[in-house]
């Protein structure tokens, strides 16, 4: 099995080797060689948020583009099983260039995981006045410490509607690619 499908393989051949091959031929050759991509499972929206805390309006409205750095960030937390335990990863992505601004990993899915991620982000991005930070309505993002931290630096908070993962699709897609093209390639079921 290959990580990439025929379209990614065609792009790889062109960018890295300067060889242009029609996508249909790449598909046919991959089929003949028995190469198939790892298909990502469709993500079902199954998360729910806690009751209480603060909820903000959706300022992005699925517009995942930005005209400048530090104009729009999206953020989320994902989990990944390593041996007998769960590893939680919080990440922030800038929608201008799709760069990961900051990330933090922890064995606990708590407010500190997200707050430490933003602390790292604000160390590199000094002036974030007017920045829109978009997330889902997870308990970390509705917490008072999170809202206070962003308010103090002059950032605006935006949130998806409850249970609607498509309104944070850019970040969900990043985590899907991270797991499929990076983490799932390694067998972590040891020990």
In a shared domain, residues 121 and 163? yes
Rounded to two decimals, the pTM is 0.69
Q: In this structure, is residue 64 part of a structural domain?
A: no
In a shared domain, residues 35 and 85? no
| Residue range of the domain that includes 180 | 72-185
> Between 61 and 46, where is the model more confident?
61
Q: In this structure, is residue 45 part of a structural domain?
A: no
For residue 169, what pLDDT band results from cuts at 50, 70 and 90? Answer: confident
In a shared domain, residues 35 and 83? no
> Between 96 and 178, where is the model more confident?
96
Assess whether pLDDT exceeds 60 at residue 44. Answer: no
Which CATH number fits the domain that encloses residue 169?
Answer: 3.30.420.10
* Predicted local distance difference test score (pLDDT) of residue 191: 37
Cα–Cα distance, 35 to 28 (Å, whole number): 10
In a shared domain, residues 76 and 35? no
For residue 152, what pLDDT band results from cuts at 50, 70 and 90? Answer: very high
- Helices marked H in the chain: 6-17, 23-32, 111-124, 144-153, 169-181
Number of structural domains the chain divides into: 2
Q: What angle do CA 179, 181, 184 make, to 5 degrees?
A: 50
For residue 52, what pLDDT band results from cuts at 50, 70 and 90? Answer: low
Mean pLDDT value across residues 70-75 = 93
For residue 7, what pLDDT band results from cuts at 50, 70 and 90? Answer: confident
Q: In this structure, is residue 58 part of a structural domain?
A: no
In a shared domain, residues 8 and 78? no
In a shared domain, residues 83 and 168? yes
The rounded mean pLDDT for the chain is: 83
């Amino acid at each position: 099995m290959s990580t990439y499908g025929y379209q990614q393989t065609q792009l790889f051949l062109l960018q890295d080797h300067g060889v242009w091959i029609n996508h249909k031929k790449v598909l046919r050759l991959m089929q003949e060689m028995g190469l198939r991509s790892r298909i990502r499972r469709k993500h079902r929206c199954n998360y729910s948020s806690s009751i209480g805390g603060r909820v903000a309006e959706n300022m992005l409205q699925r517009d995942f583009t930005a005209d400048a750095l530090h104009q729009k960030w999206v953020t989320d937390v994902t989990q990944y099983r390593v041996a007998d335990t769960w590893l939680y990863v919080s990440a922030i992505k800038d929608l201008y260039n799709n760069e990961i601004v900051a990330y933090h990993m922890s064995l606990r899915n708590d407010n500190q995981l997200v707050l430490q991620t933003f602390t790292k982000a604000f160390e590199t991005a000094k002036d974030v006045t007017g920045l829109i930070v978009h997330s889902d309505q997870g308990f970390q993002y509705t917490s008072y410490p999170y809202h206070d931290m962003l308010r103090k630096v002059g950032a605006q908070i935006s949130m998806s509607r409850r249970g609607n993962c498509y309104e944070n699709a850019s970040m969900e897609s990043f985590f899907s690619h991270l797991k499929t093209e990076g983490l799932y390639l390694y067998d972590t079921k040891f020990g």
